[in-house]
Structure 1
């Protein structure tokens, strides 16, 4: 029997990129998936289409900076599927803007979604996992949470905060058999990168079509991460195979960052 069959997994940022990949990975593993995303129509349509194919899934339009929205969606899901076993926090935003051109709004939006959103989601997750007497959470930081880089201050700050948040949760709720780890990816070519390739090209003084080859040149394994690389690691960190791991920030960078 697949370890995830019959389990209930919440995924934030579920309508695109890494979050969407996690949704497909876990429904195919037999899990019931609760998909949360601020793109209400998109996440509800995705869930409806997958449910029509026989998968166990519910989709809710949720902005993760509002705890009440997260709670309401999860309570509806629990009524249908039962209590939450696992939680994946993949919601996030990223903008490349020079430091002195970074507005307070961009700072606030980035910290709210990338850090406050994971904080609130973890609160809701743990409230439910305590009822089960166990659980596992995967947060998403970034290699940029371990190393600062220019024109990326809000993102780097938010992702460094996720690492500390993860460690704090792991320390406090380890005795309750609730584990919390985070993943620090390098470059995963998702729609998020499609939106900021031009900004990165401007930052580096290269053409947009040179951005991805430029990244690959700096990666020892000579390729970008795939969403499958990410979902495989998420699966491992949620599974019993990592039952003695908590509070860890795992690099998934192809060797481009090793600390």
Structure 2
């Protein structure tokens, strides 16, 4: 089954598209998966999918903005599987709005989950990884952590924070055998990009439909001319997790958008 056989992977935001793809990719390699989300029912059905691939799974409800909640989940994961080898701090929320539309509560909501959540999850898993002198941490950032984007200022700020935090912690633990990296998904045709009120809708030119805006922006922004998939991100996460000498990096999977 390869180098992930019987390794334990702790994935937050596992019920979403990218989180689910990462969980299934690791499960196919024989890893045990702690499926973590804000509500247990978001990952209950995924437990069965992981088990169908021959791997063990544990579903956990966690508030990533609460240190004790995350610490309890980490402890339960170690008690259940006996180890915690790789953490994918993937939980996140999106928000779209101009500076006039974003209020303090919306700013705090996005920064709390996306930035504070990564801090808390990293802090909690390092309590396990440091004594064992091994581990890999992958934080989900975004291409929005590498470039500003209109109507996404709070989301962009949170993802820049994730990349800076990742760089800093990678240096702190560089001699412990633990790697810390960020993955930066590009444009995926779901979530904040598509549908009414999404970025493609926001960025419409006069006379354009949302679908036409999507196609125009996709082709103009991405050199390869096509969007990425959740499975593309999962493939990159598996690569980073298996590379002992890649650390402190923010690796984009974006079709060349931020080259």
TM-score of the two chains, using structure 2 as the length reference: 0.93
> How far off is 1:133 after superposition?
1.0
Determine if the alignment matches structure 1 residue 234 to structure 2 residue 237. Answer: yes
Per-residue Cα deviation, 1:36-71 (whole angstroms, up to 9, x for no partner): 111321213322554366430101111211111111
Counterparts of 2:17 and 2:181, CA distance in 1: 20
> How far off is 1:198 after superposition?
3.8
SS in 2 for 1:216: helix
Residues 167-182 of structure 1: pairs in structure 2 closer than 5 A: 167-182=167-182
Counterparts of 1:156 and 1:214, CA distance in 2: 22
Determine if the alignment matches structure 1 residue 185 to structure 2 residue 215. Answer: no
Partner of 1:209: 211
1:85–1:129 Cα contact (<8 Å) kept: yes
SS in 1 for 2:173: helix
> How far off is 1:158 after superposition?
0.3
Greater Cα offset, 49-58 or 2-11: 49-58
2:145–2:184 Cα contact (<8 Å) kept: yes
Q: Superposition RMSD on alpha carbons, in Å?
A: 1.7
Counterparts of 1:214 and 1:197, CA distance in 2: 17
Determine if the alignment matches structure 1 residue 225 to structure 2 residue 231. Answer: no
| Runs of at least 5 residues in structure 1 that lack an aligned partner in the other structure | none
1:95–1:152 Cα contact (<8 Å) kept: yes
Counterparts of 2:13 and 2:203, CA distance in 1: 27
SS in 2 for 1:99: coil
| Runs of at least 5 residues in structure 2 that lack an aligned partner in the other structure | none
Determine if the alignment matches structure 1 residue 254 to structure 2 residue 255. Answer: yes
Structure in which a larger fraction of residues adopt helix: 1
1:99–1:150 Cα contact (<8 Å) kept: no
Counterparts of 1:191 and 1:235, CA distance in 2: 23
Residues 1-259 of structure 1: pairs in structure 2 closer than 5 A: 1-48=1-48, 50-51=50-51, 54-194=54-194, 198=198, 200-205=200-205, 206-218=208-220, 219-239=222-242, 242-258=243-259
Per-residue Cα deviation, 1:79-132 (whole angstroms, up to 9, x for no partner): 121121101111111121111110111100100010000000001111111122
> How far off is 1:199 after superposition?
5.0
> How far off is 1:5 after superposition?
0.5
Counterparts of 1:124 and 1:74, CA distance in 2: 7
> How far off is 1:197 after superposition?
5.3
Alignment CA distance shift 1:96-1:191 (3 Å):
closer
1:137–1:179 Cα contact (<8 Å) kept: yes
Per-residue Cα deviation, 1:183-235 (whole angstroms, up to 9, x for no partner): 12210224454466545413434422224312321211121111221111100
TM-score of the two chains, using structure 1 as the length reference: 0.93
Alignment CA distance shift 1:222-1:43 (3 Å):
same
Greater Cα offset, 117-126 or 43-52: 43-52
User: Between Structure 1 and Structure 2, how many residues are aligned?
Assistant: 256
